[in-house]
Amino acid sequence: LIDRMNRTASAVDGTALGGLLVNAERRRQRSQAIGSVLRSVASFLIVGTAALMILDTFRINLAPLLASAGVAGVAIGFGARNLV
């Protein structure tokens, strides 16, 4: 009876608990990746806003620049949809 209990415990440990540890590691890696992406997006927005404010200070018309950036964003989105 004790031998059977030991085998059952080791079988549960190998599948259930091992699976939980693998899932926890995946969640940790996923949260690190999302945090890195959010940090990159936030710094891009801050630098981009500062650059636009500097260009506006020099009286450069921002409308054509923003329109071009929008078209480029749509083109990149269509090009990258196969990667996602």
> How do the pLDDT tens digits run along the chain, 84 residues long?
666 666 665 555 445 555 566 677 888 888 999 999 999 999 999 999 999 999 999 999 999 999 999 999 999 999 988 876
CA torsion angle for 26, 31, 34, 39 (degrees, to 10)?
Answer: -140
Q: Confirm whether pTM is higher than 0.75.
A: no
Please tell me the total count of domains within the chain.
1
Give the domain extent around 51.
2-80
What was the pLDDT predicted at 25?
Answer: 82
What was the pLDDT predicted at 1?
Answer: 65
Give Rg (Cα) of the chain.
26
What was the pLDDT predicted at 43?
Answer: 97
